[in-house]
A and B are shown apart, each in its own frame.
Chain A
């Protein structure tokens, strides 16, 4: 049974960088069958895809966040990471790391971690 676990600060100041890491167990981020990604959900609102990465480093991002998002992968640690620069209160959300199935549907989700942007 695979698991994804997000880790990182729960509070970030406006204009700073949000950084989260997803540790994968029971599966390998080096798999040729899966992309790995990040989804966020503001409190009481819907789901927003931020971006996804393949073990080779190929990434796809949501243009709505312009160039504020960076996603990287560390195959030696079986982890992948998210950075969101220049955060504002609008970036307050539950951030979840996910595994994509045979295409871009999502077959596994982390539990999610709430990140609050506030001074």
Chain B
């Protein structure tokens, strides 16, 4: 199985500041034939199911604010929130879908400093 790790576990950020969450996979999730990274990011607020933010490592889902961006390739990825808003407080998960079993990172809890 591909093991996903995330850092940090918890991230306090001031409103309006940049938040950066890291995700690392135990093996590359880049499919060379189509040059796509099989990596997604989700946001989960309390009492709600996760919501898709980013797929193919950097493609923003429709309706997701452009302050959210994804980057990285191979085994190292980053989710960046350019200017933190109060409604962004949540747990963020990365997920690889390069191979089954699909696996998720343990989550990063984003909070207001």
Contacts and interface: CB of A to CB of B under 8 A. Distances in A.
Interface of A: 46-49, 60, 62-64, 96, 101-107, 109-112
Interface string B32-61: 000000101010000011111001000001
Contact of A96 (B49, B100, B106): B49
Contact of A47 (B38, B55, B97, B104): B104
A49 B104 contact: yes
Interface of B: 1, 38, 40, 42, 48-52, 55, 61, 93, 95, 97, 100-107
- The binding surface of chain B is classed by DSSP as loop
6 contacts: A62-B100, A64-B1, A103-B38, A104-B102, A105-B55, A107-B55
A60 B104 contact: no
Q: Which of A46, A47, A111 is the most central at the interface, judged by chain B CB atoms within 10 Å of its CB? A: A47
A79 B103 CA distance: 25
A111 B51 CA distance: 11
B52 A106 contact: yes
